[in-house]
Amino acid sequence: MPTAPKQIIKAFSGWKIVLAVLFGISVSIYLLTDDFSISNYQKLHLGYVSILFLILAVLFEAIRDIAYMYRIHIMTDGVINWRKSFDVIMLWEFASALTPSVVGGSAVALFIVNKEINNAGKATAIVMITALLDELFYIIMVPLVFIIVGSQKLFISTEFNLFSFGQFPTKTIVYTGYGFILLLTSVIVFAIFFKPRLFKSILHAIFSFPFLKRWRNNVDQTGDDIITTSREMKGKDLIFWIKVFSATMVSWIARFAVINALIMVLIGHGDQLLIFGRQLIMWVILLISPTPGGSGVAEFMLPKFLGEFMNPYSHEIALTWRLLSYYSYLIIGSIVLPIWLRRVYKKSK
């Protein structure tokens, strides 16, 4: 196999995979054994309907990936075909699974897309716009869920530690997180689509102060990325934006629908809209997770937010969810990575 760059070796190192799996599985085993009761399993009866919803959960997970594959295909103007888009999305998810949620896997994604299209500027634009589209989904869906479900039902009473700032109610964290995402997205939209050079000039001026100078080079690079993205996205028509945002909506709705389906497998009932809405709330907490892919944190958080719909099988549902939406990407990514490396480095020779 050709020698891969240090960035890829570091991002997909074996110890990261082992650490992520061990941490997540350890938390799952602890939670399963902590409230284990044989009587719960004796009462469990799985029929054809349960099997149907399990298949549906797997289909939702597949739809999530197919929608992302379609989005990357459209954003590269067809340069990344369906076969290659599978590799790109699996490796992108693989990188995200091995990176703390608060950091994300964008740097590796940029490298992967660039190797496929051989255009650093366009790759930068694609990674930046996909992140923007994901944030737009959240910005739009949260108010809709608030209107349909009602804010009183969405929040749980549990308080959470926010790094070293102390404990805060769920509502405070979500409102703060939503406000930050809204502000950041608004600034980025303004910078990309209206005044990219002005944005870079403002950033450069701010980080020219002596106590901020150490970060000025990185900030200048961010400004350059914004200008590049603006240039690459200029001239895209309405149909393009409808297609990529529709794909984003489908992918995220399918991602959340996996849990809805899994609850139906073991429980057989529940307020589906409220279950969906609670996941939007939980997602803000997972965004600031310090562990790779939210490993361990997600298994703990899901029963906190959806326990009333999942009991007495909260931890079983959480583990199954993570097997589908997290561990599967570790397995598939480990298989795809060497195949992809051989293909792209053979092509570049």
* pLDDT for position 3: 43
Q: 18 falls in which pLDDT band (50, 70, 90)?
A: confident
Q: What percent of the chain has pLDDT over 70?
A: 82
pTM of the model: 0.87
- pLDDT at position 125 is 93
Tokens of 160: 């959470």
For residues 258 and 53, what is the distance between their CA atoms, to the nearest angstrom?
Answer: 9
Give the angle 62-330-79 at the CA atoms, nearest 5°: 60
Beta strands 167-169; 159-161: pairing state: antiparallel
- Burial-class residue 11 by CB neighbours within 10 Å (0-12, 13-18, 19+): buried
Tokens of 307: 């326990």
Mean pLDDT, residues 165-169: 72
Looking at the predicted structure, is the pLDDT value of residue 160 above 60?
Answer: yes
Q: What is the pLDDT of residues 49-73, one digit of tens each?
A: 999 999 999 999 999 999 999 999 9
> Does residue 309 surpass a pLDDT of 80?
yes
Instruction: Give the 3-state secondary structure of the chain.
Output: CCCCCHHHHHHCCHHHHHHHHHHHHHHHHHHHHHCCCHHHHHCCCCCHHHHHHHHHHHHHHHHHHHHHHHHHHHHCCCCCCHHHHHHHHHHHHHHHHCCECCCCCHHHHHHHHHHHHCCHHHHHHHHHHHHHHHHHHHHHHHHHHHHHHCHHHHCCCCEEECCCCCEEEHHHHHHHHHHHHHHHHHHHHHHHHCCHHHHHHHHHHHCCCHHHHHHHHHHHHHHHHHHHHHHHHCCCCHHHHHHHHHHHHHHHHHHHHHHHHHHHHHCCCCCHHHHHHHHHHHHHHHHCCCCECCCCHHHHHHHHHHHHHHCCCHHHHHHHHHHHHHHHHHHHHHHHHHHHHHHHHHHHC
Whether 114 shows a pLDDT value over 70: the answer reads yes
User: What value does the mean pLDDT take over residues 243-248?
Assistant: 97
Q: Give the pLDDT score at 155.
A: 87
Residue 347 has pLDDT above 90, yes or no: no
pLDDT tier, 38 (very low <50, low <70, confident <90, very high otherwise):
low
Lowest-pLDDT range, 177-191, 251-265, 294-308, 325-339? 294-308
